[in-house]
Amino acid sequence: MIRVTKEGVILRKTDFDFENESVLNPAIIREGDSLYLFYRAVRKGNYSSIGFCKLDGPLTVKERFDIPIMIPEFEYESHGIEDPRIVKIDDLYYMTYVAYNGTNALGALAISKDLKHFEKQGLIVPEIRINEFTAIVQPMDKVTNKYFTMNVGSGFLMNKDVVFFPRRINNKLYFMHRIKPEIQLVSVNSLQELTKEFWENYFNHFDENIMLKPRYSQELSYIGAGCPPIETNEGWLLIYHGVYGISGKYTYSVRVALLDLEDPRKVIAHLPYQLFKPANDYELSGIVNKVCFPTGTALFGDTLYIYYGAADQCIACASLSLSSLLGELVNVKIQNKKACSIKIKSIQHLTHNVLKIVTEKPPAFDFYPGQAAEISINKNGWENELRPFTFTSLPNENHLEFTIKTYPSHKGVTKQLLKLVENDEFILHEVFGTITYKGEGVFIAGGAGVTPFICIFRYLKSINKIGNNVLIFANRTKADIILQQELKNLLGKNFINILSQDKVLGYAQGRITKQFLKANVSDFSKKFYLCGPESMIDNVEKQLYDLGVNEKSIVKEEF
């Protein structure tokens, strides 16, 4: 894991009219030892302009304007200009931002030669209506159905997070943009090429222009371009935001990927965990809760400073070692190169929506109980669609077993899983996972979050050390309980079920509350292992703290 230092808040709102609501999401560019920070300044009523301050070094505010440096001037941005990013290409500064007119949010561009005077270039993404986009893109097999559930209505397609690469690649300008839920990529010789005909062709080949897709549980709602990419010897370092949420209660965390220097559509490596997420009060509670939204970086020596909007109310900074981060990504890259195909030996339905898939095991392959692997389906067009699946077999067995929850109504990998048969193949990529057994305790799982615990319990049984471990298993209905009889046999009275929707005799009903924990846990000095949906884990973790559980006693993974 990369050590990240939260440097804290560096900029807050003032009483000036243009920023009396909040400041957030800054564009950053370094000139000598100074940083130029162009930030979104919001006045009451959610009207945004661009404010400016200058930093001496990475953290000290030296100068701050009392008026905005850029304000809305045109109809397409009449309600605000938001979330700027900035790069320098050749001798010109490119500042992209979101132009908002009260209804539509679209990427726009302004250019400058001196960082003082900016000339607006207008919108650089197309004004295409949602129904037009759907008609063109929906027939494409490799495009997730979330494009059509997340983009609805009769207005223009929301198209935000426009971020340029900081140099030409093969003589072309490259920029990212985001139509939910994925990040797309545009390359042109000149911005004058961005015509109606260009965009018609672009959308007709939309699946070829998707650069980055959500892969991990904490970004499965959607992702978006964050900071301008950083050129390194290993590739383009992309720091972006990943979003996960239940019922609209989203968490924005900071993620990392490494892209090919000559073709950024080629993803070399993903960091398989969040670089950092909301944890401090200023990140957890604000105008929009639980947000870390990265928009700019600065490098001083080996220390990379990442600037981000925190809870949509202030600007904060985190720092880390660039060489350590690149080293971690290189390790992931090496593991990716070791990917191998494994043949499916059997498929079995455990519940109405959970599969047990048994595969071959590669020679000398190893993992720890509780870990997962990145898996893709070895079929044309699906090889690079990686998803995390947890091992439920034991490390010493001569096969691999995965227990996988499916979503029959979804498009994409889940739908393909339901089509698999014996002798089809997976591609096995890197192994990861933060949940490993650290001693006797209480395991709390939600839904498919039980899968790492299944392997741990099976392992403990195999060495006669199941002990007094307890499993509290939360599900919606009795039919959703995975491997109920086996878990009962393993744990006996220490297997405790709670159902949020069903009322069944002998099963607790409702949600995991402080009172429920007090009634079912006898010793709060033990280890607590948590795995499940993020909202559940956050809620349970808070209750455990209130009950006096030490932070070091909690082992968790959001599922």
DSSP string, 73-128: -SGGGTTEEEEEEEEEETTEEEEEEEEE-SS-EEEEEEEESSSS--EEEEE-S---
pTM: 0.76
Q: Over 60: is that where the pLDDT of 467 sits?
A: yes
Q: Parallel, antiparallel, or unpaired: how do β-strands 441-446 and 470-475 relate?
A: parallel
Of the pLDDT bands very low, low, confident and very high (cuts 50, 70, 90), residue 145 is confident
**pLDDT value at position 59?**
97
**pLDDT value at position 334?**
63
Tens-digit pLDDT profile for residues 28-50: 999 999 999 999 999 999 999 99
Q: Which residues of 178-205 are buried (b: 16+ CB within 10 A; e: fewer)?
A: bbbbbbbbbbeeeeeebeeeeeeebbee
CA distance 36 to 52: 7
CA distance 234 to 329: 9
Angstrom distances, CA of residue 464 to CA of 368, 393, 467, 490: 17, 17, 8, 11
Q: Is pLDDT larger for residue 288 or for residue 431?
A: 288
CATH 3.40.50.80 fits 441-447+466-558, yes or no: yes
Tens-digit pLDDT profile for residues 178-196: 999 999 999 999 999 999 9
How do the domains of the chain map onto residue ranges? 5-334, 338-432, 441-447+466-558
Of the pLDDT bands very low, low, confident and very high (cuts 50, 70, 90), residue 336 is low
5-334: which CATH topology?
A: Tachylectin-2; Chain A (2.115.10)
Angstrom distances, CA of residue 279 to CA of 138, 147, 303, 492, 530: 38, 30, 21, 36, 17
Mean pLDDT over all residues of the chain?
Answer: 93
**pLDDT value at position 396?**
94
Of the pLDDT bands very low, low, confident and very high (cuts 50, 70, 90), residue 412 is confident
Tell me the two tokens of residue 514: 């402080």
Tell me the two tokens of residue 93: 């500064």
What is the DSSP secondary-structure string of 230-268? EEETTEEEEEEEEEEEETTEEEEEEEEEEE-SS-TTSEE
CATH of 338-432, picked from 1.10.760.10, 3.40.50.2300, 2.40.440.10, 2.40.30.10, is 2.40.30.10
What percent of the chain has a predicted confidence (pLDDT) above 90? Answer: 81
User: By mean pLDDT, which of 103-112, 298-307, 362-371, 445-454 is the weakest?
Assistant: 362-371
Tens-digit pLDDT profile for residues 228-280: 999 999 999 999 999 987 556 789 999 999 999 999 999 988 898 899 999 99
Question: Could you give the angle at which helices 130-137 and 196-204 cross, rounded to 10 degrees?
Answer: 40
